[in-house]
Amino acid sequence: MRLGVLDVGSNTIHLLVVDAHPGARPLPAHSHKVELRLAQLLDESGAVSPEGVERLVSVIAGAVIAAEDKGCEEVLPFATSAVREAPNADEVLARVKAETGVDLQVLSGEDEARLTFLAARRWFGWSAGKLLVLDIGGGSLEIAYGIDEDPDAAVSLPLGAGRLTAGWLPGDPAEAADVKALRRHVRAQIARSVGEFSRFGTPDHVVATSKTFKQLARIAGAAGSAAGPYVQRDLSRKELEEWVPRLAAMTAAQRAALPGVSDGRAGQLLAGALVAEGAMDLFGVDQLEICPWALREGLILRRLDHLG
């Protein structure tokens, strides 16, 4: 069957269309992506602004048409932290449903972590042993750990690259004092969760998903997307520690000129790098591997499990 997953994230709205059957690997058939930067369309209270709601409705309506054009039998629509935490979330969801017919499901942060973990487990298989999975989104950082398909521990922290950039790094390039303050904030937040994971022991394999980690691995020398999904892509803490001060000294335009870094993500890459560095350091990770699958694939796999 042809399934669509509509991901309303803090940075982008992404429709992923796959050909999927129970017991088979989902095959990507089409990708429709629009940079909405919803995290930047919030008012001072964190509510989605009227302009943000208008743009959200418009982009979702376009994604519905794209899903129909591609022959999707079913679309799984979900929203993450930007909508989840908005004081006017109910109003936004009602407006989206009334004008587009889409009933957006709001995932909890723990749901995000668990579904992303499922995707990583299926990608790497049982031979990977105990997995530690890290995912940096626009609004939150998800961490999950376990040996089965459902993690033993899963948390979501408000440490997304877009959120932190908007709240902590107003300068371009960033002020050194702002970078230092953000680094301290990030590490304090992550450190609160380390104990919850350390009691399970050392992971056998550490995995990262998300655009932020992919871009960090790319600028550190990993293969580009043209090499395909099956090429191993790693990121070491040593490489990341060397890149953080370089990224801090750059403007967003200079970062956008780096290999694999898009214009839309360049502004928040420094904040993402600080989160990645903090997580790798505090969890004692010397090297991690990039996983091509993440939350969207996790949702597809969960849906297929229920069909089987």
Q: Which CATH class is domain 2-106?
A: alpha beta
Which CATH number, 3.30.420.150, 3.30.70.420, 3.40.109.10, 3.60.110.10, labels domain 109-295? 3.30.420.150
Q: Within the chain, which residue ranges are assigned CATH 3.30.420.40?
A: 2-106
Note the pLDDT tens digit of each residue in 231-286: 999 999 999 999 999 999 999 999 999 999 999 899 999 999 999 999 999 999 99
Is the pLDDT reported for residue 226 higher than 80?
yes
Say what the pLDDT of residue 308 is. Answer: 59
Give the confidence band of 96 by pLDDT, cuts at 50, 70, 90.
very high
pTM flag (> 0.85): yes
- Per-residue pLDDT, averaged over 48-55, amounts to 93
Say what the pLDDT of residue 23 is. Answer: 85
Q: What does pLDDT average to over the chain?
A: 95
Structure tokens at 251: 């403007």
Say what the pLDDT of residue 174 is. Answer: 97
Note the pLDDT tens digit of each residue in 170-182: 999 999 999 999 9
Note the pLDDT tens digit of each residue in 127-138: 999 999 999 999
Say what the pLDDT of residue 249 is. Answer: 98
- Rounded Cα gap, residues 118 and 26, in angstroms: 14
Say what the pLDDT of residue 36 is. Answer: 87
Q: 187, 165, 154, 163: which is closest to 85 by C-alpha?
A: 163
